[in-house]
């Protein structure tokens, strides 16, 4: 029997190194780092779990900051899911491609587990595949490499090794600790010219999970890609397979532009948002079904958020809840829906690369550190869902309206 659906609400905690000289800290930029009262707001929603950071980059300072907040959540009957690295690459003297990264990270994991031995759910590294892509294939974040597949292979496998070693250390402290892996729920729609490439990207979207599950062995569809194109030593993949640490829960993060359309334009590839380019309205249902069929792991929609009005944010969450209930009715163990960016986000339109001060509201309104976040309609909806009530039906969002296709065609 599938357990009751969990409703989560969590702050955006990214601490990313953008380049050699610039870091972004969303806990500070959203004001959450300075406001203890925020955890009281989270507790007021009646949610069962909160994804919460104790980040490696912050060291002992981060442990001291997190301690009273985690204790407060625990006292209110809310279970934290502790994150140790969220789009980060470690302290300044480390990086995603540093061979010492896994062992150093595991020491941080043990220190956090010793401070909070009662925590059961852990996300050592958030979205390791996405972080590796952004840092080594697209050049968005440090070390700002573009199409460096060898660096990509190293960043991905080192993060996988770090997760394995971290969970081993955490389970030395708490044998009941469970691993939640999170990734972007990617979808790819392609015309005939790019069908083969789209299939490669679909295979790649499962890499972090299948590495941890010990599936990347000779005969896997991406074995040759990893060993030849990405120059990952076969011995490293063999070590990862021997020490496989399958996730207990697979958290998929879904945003309006997670699905991409790969289109041929004059012999060149154009990668655009499927929400803007495809007539069919996007939905995570086919992707979640495919993920469960392939991995066989319990699922969560671990980040549900978009940049838009409160009405549109409610609509986005309402639809994800309905889809979760539909999957559960089919027997798919989708265990949770997580409202994300509880206190908003800053500058995600540029993936944090530009300091434009573009702020988004979340479950609560964005507020400076000395301000007071206010409840939004999303908070009312989250509380309603957490109490086991069905949501109202909201007006269709921009991603559902035909007008989006006309606007996209003019761009």
8 Å CB contact between 322 and 381? no
8 Å CB contact between 86 and 55? yes
Identify any residues that bridge with 6 across adjacent strands, giving them in sequence order.
Answer: 336
Inside any domain, residue 132: yes
Rounded-to-integer distance, Cα 68 and Cα 377, Å: 28
Half-sphere exposure of 223 (CA within 13 A, CB side): 14
Neighbour count for residue 175 (Cβ, 10 Å): 7
Inside any domain, residue 1: no
8 Å CB contact between 119 and 82? yes
8 Å CB contact between 253 and 183? yes
Inside any domain, residue 124: yes
Tell me which H or E stretch contains 68.
helix 59-75
Identify any residues that bridge with 251 across adjacent strands, giving them in sequence order.
Answer: 182, 300
CATH classification of the domain holding 329: 3.20.20.80
Inside any domain, residue 104: yes
Inside any domain, residue 12: yes
Cβ partners under 8 Å of residue 97, min gap 6: 136, 143, 151, 154, 155, 158
Domain hosting 293: range is 6-410
Cβ partners under 8 Å of residue 314, min gap 6: 377, 378, 381, 391, 394
The model's pLDDT over 319-358, given as tens digits with 9 standing for 90+, comes to 999 999 999 999 999 999 999 999 999 999 999 999 999 9
Rounded-to-integer distance, Cα 112 and Cα 64, Å: 10
Neighbour count for residue 362 (Cβ, 10 Å): 26
Q: How many domains does the chain have?
A: 1
Q: What is the DSSP letter of 83?
A: E
Inside any domain, residue 201: yes
Cβ partners under 8 Å of residue 400, min gap 6: 281
Rounded-to-integer distance, Cα 258 and Cα 255, Å: 5
Q: What are phi and psi of 402, to 5 degrees?
A: -60, -30
Inside any domain, residue 318: yes
The model's pLDDT over 46-61, given as tens digits with 9 standing for 90+, comes to 999 999 999 999 999 9
pLDDT in tens, the chain (411 residues): 789 999 999 999 999 999 999 999 999 999 999 999 999 999 999 999 999 999 999 999 999 999 999 999 999 999 999 999 999 999 999 999 999 999 999 999 999 999 999 999 999 999 999 999 999 999 999 999 999 999 999 999 999 999 999 999 999 999 999 999 999 999 999 999 999 999 999 999 999 999 999 999 999 999 999 999 999 999 999 999 999 999 999 999 999 999 999 998 888 889 999 999 999 999 999 999 999 999 999 999 999 999 999 999 999 999 999 999 999 999 999 999 999 999 999 999 999 999 999 999 999 999 999 999 999 999 999 999 999 999 999 999 999 998 888 665 654
Give alpha helix (H) positions in 140-228. 149-173, 195-204, 207-212, 223-224
- Which structure tokens are listed for 47? 């949610």
C-alpha 166, offset from chain centre: 18
Rounded-to-integer distance, Cα 105 and Cα 159, Å: 9
């Amino acid at each position: 029997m599938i357990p009751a659906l969990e409703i989560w609400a969590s702050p955006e905690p990214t601490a990313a190194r953008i380049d050699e000289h610039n870091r972004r800290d969303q806990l500070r930029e959203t004001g959450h780092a300075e406001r203890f009262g925020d955890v009281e707001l989270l507790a007021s929603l009646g949610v069962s779990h909160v994804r919460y950071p104790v980040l490696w980059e912050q060291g002992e300072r981060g442990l001291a900051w997190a301690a009273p907040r985690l204790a407060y959540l625990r006292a209110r009957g809310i279970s934290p899911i502790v994150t140790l690295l969220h789009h980060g690459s470690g302290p300044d003297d480390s990086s995603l491609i540093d061979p010492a990264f896994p062992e150093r990270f595991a020491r941080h994991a043990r220190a956090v587990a010793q401070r909070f031995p009662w925590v059961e759910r852990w996300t050592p590294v958030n979205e390791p595949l996405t972080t590796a892509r952004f840092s080594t294939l697209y050049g968005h974040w440090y070390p700002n490499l573009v199409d460096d597949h060898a660096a990509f292979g190293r960043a991905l496998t080192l993060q996988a090794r770090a997760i394995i070693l971290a969970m081993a250390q955490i389970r030395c402290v708490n044998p009941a600790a469970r691993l939640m892996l999170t990734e972007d729920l990617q979808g790819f729609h392609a015309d005939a010219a790019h069908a083969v490439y789209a299939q490669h990207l679909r295979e790649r979207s499962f890499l972090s999970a299948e590495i941890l599950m010990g599936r990347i062995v000779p005969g896997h569809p991406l074995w040759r890609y990893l060993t030849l194109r990405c120059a990952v030593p076969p011995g490293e993949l063999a070590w990862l397979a021997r020490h496989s640490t399958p996730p207990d829960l697979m958290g998929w993060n879904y945003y309006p532009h997670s699905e991409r359309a790969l289109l041929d334009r004059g012999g060149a590839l154009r990668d655009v948002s499927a929400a803007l380019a495809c007539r069919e309205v996007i939905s995570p249902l086919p992707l979640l079904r495919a993920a469960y069929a392939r991995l066989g792991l319990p699922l969560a929609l671990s980040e549900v958020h978009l940049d838009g009005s409160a009405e549109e944010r409610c609509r986005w969450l309402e639809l994800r809840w309905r889809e979760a209930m539909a999957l559960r009715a089919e027997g798919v163990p989708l265990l949770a829906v997580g409202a994300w960016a509880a206190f908003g986000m800053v500058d995600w339109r540029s993936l944090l690369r530009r300091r434009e001060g573009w702020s988004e509201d979340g479950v609560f309104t964005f507020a400076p550190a000395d301000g007071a976040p206010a409840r939004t309609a999303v908070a009312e909806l989250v509380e309603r869902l957490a109490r086991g009530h069905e949501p109202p039906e909201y007006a269709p969002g921009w991603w559902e309206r035909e007008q989006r296709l006309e606007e996209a065609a003019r761009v």
